[in-house]
């Protein structure tokens, strides 16, 4: 395979994310999938995709074509899948699409230690699930986090980054721990607050439900996601989610005490509003950056930690990446 | 004025809600506004509306035309406005558009006890404010709560209901206390949770802000509202908001303990998801209903408490209302 050819893709698990990934990858490269579900396989084949119910066959094809294997099954299946990968494709290029990254990295190092692993978290989704809900366009405009450390394989990082970029995502490099802490605050905590809000309203009067609209509808939207998916995501990130939840409980507790004693919500309203404005303005002032050289992975991690991202990868003369970064701190 | 003629409208305060109301009312009836702001008056006049900076003049016109007066200024101005109403138009038909109803009803009974008052809360808005943000279409499709008790004047209720229906709203009759308890849960609590979520994310890493999207954007949208507006709304409803906040803190605290000890979020995810489904299905099974007779106000309150609403008012042979109600409890 020439460096400029997209890496072939072997997708293990064909739900919303895996199914969308297979659709997108098949546009520009050899791509095949494995699913344990007969109905999923039939549906995917009917849509014109190459799928198998045999995990050894899927892995043998990955070895034969030097493919990138993507773990796209639910997290509880990872243990079994990684054991199979270690047996059938031990030194494979490997990534995944799970929403929590520290537990995956730990399990990979235990079950498939020779695999050249780069973590992946495409931050795209809908409240639907399964093959039928997928789309080749699902990742367009999304952040696709790639988790790595300084011992990772830069070529495999480039494989994953190119896959994400081809799918229309921006690539955010991060270490696994900071990634998990970040998504606890911006994805998992929002789910817990949405579930709580829905229940507090439903525990009120029928009048409350009849009047609910705007702020309630927005604030509870993700409570419509299947509860087993929310549980799987949040429970797997318990170590990072508990501190985020404690921060929320602390802020709400202080606001409650202030409202009940002095009648004032000044502190929460001002700080929360300012925080939301920071979000609205987070893309202001991003400047272009080019990263290259032997410490490329270190540079990537620095840019990601600042809130920057990668928008292109070039392998024509060594490996380099271009992207956008917030202004460096002048201090 | 014949019964079939829309009641003339005197709007005190020309911000987002008052300005939108003046625009809509002027379509089908005599309507004028008062504003203390020179720039607001100029803008409204330039748009072709009749406005004055003299409160006594606005009130004298209301008496002369037997108008419905609408308090549409911010809540802190109500005390002064009601004192002026008691002096200039003591027995007027009176309503308001404030989002909290018990404190308004109490203040009306103190400052303008002879006014024929029906509380109003059109549940429409945007994150913008001021005359320029208004629109005659603002109320279309919204719930417009009318608060009353069994001693209220049915004819004034009908005036307010017809105004709301003409603006495209559905009319929800309620007592003031249950209204305030309901909006604490479905409007004010969502604002506090949104502000909290925004701050917890901003207190995380720059990476967290860079990855924030979907669930965070939805969950914090209303934190973008001007903090002084959120404060005014929530602080005025402290008596109902503190218990709602306590319910939220209780659910989150239990979930936190369960996540930290057993790793499970089963209870919150299942109950919260079921609650959101109840919201999605709240309009299922509504059946048509006609209300009439001497206990009309009592019937209206029953329908509103069940989660129903009024969609038409008829004054041709006595006063009757038609609308929609959830199925009555078979017990």
Q: Specify whether the backbone of A45 is left (phi greater than 0), alpha (psi in -120 to 50) or beta.
A: alpha
Element holding A121 (H helix, E strand): strand A119-122
Q: Specify whether the backbone of A324 is left (phi greater than 0), alpha (psi in -120 to 50) or beta.
A: beta
pTM here is: 0.91
SS3 content of chain A, % helix, strand, coil (to 5): 55, 15, 30
CA distance B147 to B118: 6
Out of A142, A224, A275, name the one closest to residue B202 (CB).
Answer: A275
User: SS3 of B126, please?
Assistant: coil
State in Å, rounded, how far the first CA of chain A is from the last one.
46
Contact yes or no for B185 and A204 at CB 8 A = yes
ipTM above 0.85, yes or no: yes
Predicted confidence at residue B159, as pLDDT, reads: 98
Q: What is the secondary structure of A251-264 as a DSSP string? A: HHHHHHHHHHHT--
Handedness of CA A59, A65, A71, A73 (dihedral sign): negative
Contact yes or no for B264 and A209 at CB 8 A = no
**What angle is formed at CA B271 by the lines to CA B258 and CA A125, rounded to 5 degrees?**
90
Return per-residue pLDDT of chain B as tens, 331 residues. 334 689 999 999 999 999 999 999 999 999 999 999 999 999 999 999 999 999 999 999 999 999 999 999 999 999 999 999 999 999 999 999 999 999 999 999 999 999 999 999 999 877 678 999 999 999 999 999 999 998 999 999 999 999 999 999 999 999 999 999 999 999 999 999 999 999 999 999 999 999 998 899 999 999 999 999 899 999 999 999 999 999 999 999 999 999 999 999 999 999 999 999 999 998 888 999 999 999 999 999 999 999 999 999 999 989 999 999 997 654 4
CA distance B121 to B173: 10
Contact yes or no for B218 and A221 at CB 8 A = yes
Q: How far does B35 lie from chain A, in Å, by closest CA?
A: 27
Predicted confidence at residue A4, as pLDDT, reads: 65
Q: How far does B48 lie from chain A, in Å, by closest CA?
A: 31
Q: Does A210 touch chain B (CB under 8 A)?
A: yes
Q: How far does A271 lie from chain B, in Å, by closest CA?
A: 7
- Tokens found for residue B113: 């006890």
For residue A1, pLDDT over 50 is answered with no
Predicted confidence at residue A328, as pLDDT, reads: 65
CA distance B304 to B173: 5
Q: What is the mean pLDDT of residues A90-96?
A: 98
Q: Are B122 and B19 in contact (CB under 8 A)?
A: no
Q: How far does A12 lie from chain B, in Å, by closest CA?
A: 25
pLDDT tier, A331 (very low <50, low <70, confident <90, very high otherwise) = very low
Q: Are A192 and B255 in contact (CB under 8 A)?
A: yes
Q: Specify whether the backbone of A230 is left (phi greater than 0), alpha (psi in -120 to 50) or beta.
A: alpha
Burial class (CB in 10 A: 0-12, 13-18, 19+), A290: exposed
Q: Does B128 touch chain A (CB under 8 A)?
A: no
Q: Are B188 and B233 in contact (CB under 8 A)?
A: yes
Predicted confidence at residue B125, as pLDDT, reads: 76
CA distance A184 to B281: 30
pLDDT tier, A2 (very low <50, low <70, confident <90, very high otherwise) = very low
Predicted confidence at residue B283, as pLDDT, reads: 87
Q: Strand (E) positions, chain B?
A: 9-12, 31-34, 51-52, 68-71, 93-96, 116-117, 119-122, 143-147, 170-174, 287-292, 309-314, 320-325
Q: Does A223 touch chain B (CB under 8 A)?
A: yes
Predicted confidence at residue B317, as pLDDT, reads: 86
Q: How far does A95 lie from chain B, in Å, by closest CA?
A: 19
Q: What is the mean pLDDT of residues A229-236?
A: 93
Q: Does A229 touch chain B (CB under 8 A)?
A: no
For residue A127, pLDDT over 70 is answered with no
Provide the chain A residues 135-164 that lie in CB contact (below 8 A) with chain B. 142-143, 145
Cα A220 to its chain centre, rounded Å, is 21
Provide the chain B residues 161-200 that lie in CB contact (below 8 A) with chain A. 172, 174, 178-179, 181-183, 185-187, 189-200
CA distance B320 to A183: 54
Predicted confidence at residue B325, as pLDDT, reads: 95
Q: In this structure, are strands A119-122 and A143-147 parallel, antiparallel, or unpaired?
A: antiparallel
| Percent of chain A whose pLDDT exceeds 70 | 97
Provide the chain A residues 281-310 that lie in CB contact (below 8 A) with chain B. 282, 304-309
Q: Which residues does chain A have within 8 Å of residue B274's beta carbon, measured at their own beta carbons?
A: 202
Burial class (CB in 10 A: 0-12, 13-18, 19+), A2: exposed
Handedness of CA A23, A24, A27, A30 (dihedral sign): negative
Residue B327, Cβ neighbours under 10 Å: how many? 10
Contact yes or no for B275 and A202 at CB 8 A = yes
Q: Which of A147, A228, A233 is nearest to A190 (CA)?
A: A233
- Residue with tokens 């992975």, as numbered in its chain: A297
Predicted confidence at residue A125, as pLDDT, reads: 76
Predicted confidence at residue A132, as pLDDT, reads: 96
What residues are paired with B279 via a beta bridge?
none
For residue A329, pLDDT over 70 is answered with no
**What angle is formed at CA A149 by the lines to CA A147 and CA A154, rounded to 5 degrees?**
85
pLDDT tier, A210 (very low <50, low <70, confident <90, very high otherwise) = very high
């Amino acid at each position: 395979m020439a460096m400029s050819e997209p890496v072939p893709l072997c997708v293990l698990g064909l739900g919303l994310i895996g199914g969308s990934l297979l659709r997108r990858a098949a546009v520009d490269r050899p791509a095949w999938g494995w699913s344990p579900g007969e109905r999923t396989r039939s549906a995917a084949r009917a849509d014109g995709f190459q799928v198998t119910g045999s995990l050894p066959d899927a892995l043998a094809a990955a070895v034969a074509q030097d493919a990138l294997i993507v773990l796209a099954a639910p997290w509880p299946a990872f243990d079994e899948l990684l054991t199979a990968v270690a047996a059938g494709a031990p030194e494979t290029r490997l990534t995944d699409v799970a929403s929590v990254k520290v537990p995956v990295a730990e399990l990979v190092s235990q079950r498939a230690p020779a695999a050249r692993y780069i973590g992946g978290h495409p931050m795209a989704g809908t409240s639907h699930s399964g093959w039928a809900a997928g789309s080749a366009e699902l990742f367009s405009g999304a952040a696709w986090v790639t988790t790595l450390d300084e011992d990772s394989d830069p070529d495999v990082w480039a494989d994953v980054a190119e896959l994400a970029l081809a799918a229309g995502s921006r690539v955010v490099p991060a270490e696994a721990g900071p990634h998990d802490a970040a998504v606890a605050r911006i994805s998992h905590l929002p789910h817990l607050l949405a579930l709580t809000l829905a229940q507090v309203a439903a525990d009120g009067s029928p009048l409350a439900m009849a009047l609910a609209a705007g702020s309630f509808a927005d604030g509870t939207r993700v409570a419509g996601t299947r509860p087993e998916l929310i549980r799987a995501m949040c429970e797997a990130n318990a170590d990072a989610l508990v501190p985020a939840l404690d921060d929320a409980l602390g802020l709400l507790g202080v606001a409650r005490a202030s409202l009940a004693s002095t009648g004032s919500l000044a502190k929460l309203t001002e700080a929360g509003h300012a925080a939301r404005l920071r979000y609205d303005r987070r893309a202001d002032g991003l400047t272009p950056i080019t990263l290259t050289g032997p410490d490329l992975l270190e540079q990537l991690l620095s840019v990601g930690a600042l809130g920057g991202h990668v928008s292109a990868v070039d392998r024509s003369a060594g490996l380099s990446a271009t992207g956008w970064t917030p202004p460096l701190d002048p201090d």
